[in-house]
């Protein structure tokens, strides 16, 4: 389940606390985002149960987006141990994302 981020401080704290974070950056005007978000959520919840899912509205929190160099929607940034490990923007497949996450996730949790 996605946790909606409300501030830059909350985002930073989440990354410091959690070993694995998938941050989904989106805007209300992004129609692709609305279709993709539930697919990413389902994939991550099933395949990576220990990963924290964070939802960032880039238009509402431009400071969080800028801090993470996010300038387009949708953008997914995956952090392991507080470090950016994977970044996907605009057109990407959920399967491709899952395969990339699995490599790092298995090293950390298996």
Contact between 51 and 22 under an 8 Å Cβ cutoff? The reply is yes
Fold of 2-109: Glutaredoxin (3.40.30)
Contact between 5 and 54 under an 8 Å Cβ cutoff? The reply is yes
3-52 pLDDT, tens per residue?
A: 999 999 999 999 999 999 999 999 999 999 999 999 999 999 999 999 99
The two three-digit tokens of residue 72, written as one number: 């387009």
3-state secondary structure of 80: strand
42-97 pLDDT, tens per residue?
A: 999 999 999 999 999 999 999 999 999 999 999 999 999 999 999 999 889 999 99
Domain residue limits, the chain: 2-109
The two three-digit tokens of residue 16, written as one number: 């410091």
Cα(1)–Cα(59) distance, integer angstroms: 21
């Amino acid at each position: 389940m996605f946790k909606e981020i409300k501030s830059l401080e909350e985002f930073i704290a989440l990354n410091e606390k959690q070993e694995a974070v998938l941050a989904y950056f989106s805007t209300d005007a992004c129609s692709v985002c609305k279709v993709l978000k539930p697919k990413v959520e389902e994939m991550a919840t099933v395949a990576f149960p220990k990963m924290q899912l964070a939802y960032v509205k880039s238009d509402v929190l431009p400071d969080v987006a800028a801090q993470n160099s996010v300038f387009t929607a949708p953008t997914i940034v995956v952090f392991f141990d507080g470090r950016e490990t994977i970044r996907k923007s605009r057109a990407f497949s959920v399967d491709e994302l899952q395969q990339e996450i699995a490599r790092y996730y298995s090293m950390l949790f298996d």
